[in-house]
Amino acid sequence: MSLLAFDDRDGQIWMNGQLKPWRDCNTHILTHGLHYGSAVFEGNRSYGGKVFKLEEHTERLFASAALMDMKIPFSQQEINEACNRVLEANDIVDGYLRPVAWRGSEMMAVSAQNTKIHVAIAAWSWPAYFKSEAISLGWAKYRRPSPESAPVHAKAAGLYMICTLSKHACEKEGFDDALMLDFRGQVAEATGANVFFVKDGELHTPIADCFLNGITRRTVISLARDLGITVNERVIMPEDLADMQECFLVGTAVEVKPVARVGDYHFQVGDISNQLVDAYSKLVRA
């Protein structure tokens, strides 16, 4: 991952309907999205110059905005076209795109009825999220909230606060990431990816009822079924990991990444994990 600061780069960003020089795309310090977390975003990857599942990502961006009482002032088609323009303008073939929508500076209080909704799309080259063949996860301190406590099915900026804190804490302990439980104490997801386990040749994954049912999650479930692998969406408790043979994370950024360890539980990088790593890699580059 590049160490170049994200506010000081060459290139162009699409912002509120037009391409602008990267360094000129700024917003005011008194912006509602900064102070109150009123922002939604997407993370898209491009392979060979084409955004994988672009339409699905844009649909989710609009669904997240609606859950956050925000109306994006562009059509989904306009956002799709803008994503492709940003890729072309920055000459990116294999990269990452970040569409984001946020409330502006017209009001500075909890209430934000009259704020303007701004939209921007940036893109940059981004290699593998994790470098090692298999990663390690610690247990997160914080838990995914109940649907009665937060708009859990929105990809909203504010919901990632506990992810950052959890990842930082586990990194300090020598882990690559954190595995989060939900408000009931059930296994939920990692800080930015869904989790799967393998037991006796079948896949097991938590029910996505209080966290994002990720686009990559749905893709991997479809790939597994095409390969004849049974998929069980079920309640998984932390102690159930003792019976699992394999584990891997899935997400747009992480793609499909085997996990060697969760806390004191250890896993092999087995046949099913490798099958799905290969199947996903072939699909996104097809």
Burial (CB count <10 Å: 0-12, 13-18, 19+), residue 1? exposed
CA 161 to chain centre: 14
* Contact (Cβ atoms closer than 8 angstroms) between residue 41 and residue 155: yes
Pair of tokens at residue 282: 């072939």
CA distances to 92, 93, 246 from 45, in Å: 11, 10, 26
What is the tally of helices (H) and strands (E) in the chain? 6, 16
Per-residue CA distances from 153 to 15, 65, 117, 135, 193 (Å): 25, 11, 20, 26, 14
**Contact criterion met (CB below 8 Å) for 217 and 250:** yes
Angle at CA 206, nearest 5°, toward 285 and 132?
A: 50
The catalytic position among 53, 155, 167, 257 is 155
Catalytic-residue membership of 167: no
Phi, psi of 174 (to 5 degrees): 95, 5
| Three-class secondary structure of residue 33 per DSSP | helix
**Structural element, H or E, at residue 60:** helix 54-67
Is 24:128 a contact under the CB 8 Å cutoff? no
Angle at 76 between CA 71 and CA 81, to 5 degrees: 130
Q: Residue 46 is which amino acid?
A: S
What whole-number distance in Å separates Cα of residue 113 and Cα of residue 99?
Answer: 22
Active site residues: 155
